[in-house]
Amino acid sequence: MKIRRARQLLKALADDTRLRIINLLDSGELTVTDICRVLQKKQSNVSKHLTRLRLTGLVIDRRAGNSVYYFLRKPKDQEQGHLVGCVRKGLMVIDILNKDKEAVKKMRRKRPLSGGKNHKKEDKR
């Protein structure tokens, strides 16, 4: 991995909302509505952040009917996997991120999230 690519990845993660989104998607695919519900943010704000993560290659989407599901993209190479893995591992000790994951678990127990898929989704590309 070139330093420019590493910088782009780290810049994409240099935002509280984007870190929270990465943390949520680590538990499986979600729609914008699901993410908005947990983060208590407006749809336009979340969509903007998802676009940045998608353009950087960290997140990918899949369409099913009228819904768009977002999930973490499998790393393109070992170096990217290591860098992103370190960031994801570091997120596990942050209180608000743990609360976000608990909120997703509670939503899944009460009712299916938008679309109802509760498993981790991996990019097969």
pLDDT tens digits for range 38-91: 999 999 999 999 999 999 999 999 999 888 999 999 988 888 889 888 888 888
98, 15 contact by CB (below 8 A): no
> Considering the chain, what is the average pLDDT of its residues?
86
Distance CA 35, CA 113 (A): 10
Q: Report pLDDT for 112.
A: 60
Q: Report pLDDT for 88.
A: 84
69, 27 contact by CB (below 8 A): no
Please report, as a single letter, which amino acid is at residue 80. Answer: Q
- Tell whether pTM > 0.85: no
Going by C-alpha positions, the residue among 20, 15, 16, 120 that lies closest to residue 73 is 120
Strands in the chain per DSSP E: 59-64, 67-72
Q: How many CB atoms lie within 10 A of CB 108?
A: 15
Residue 33 pLDDT greater than 50, yes or no: yes
118, 28 contact by CB (below 8 A): yes
If one looks up domain 3-110 in CATH, what number appears? 1.10.10.10
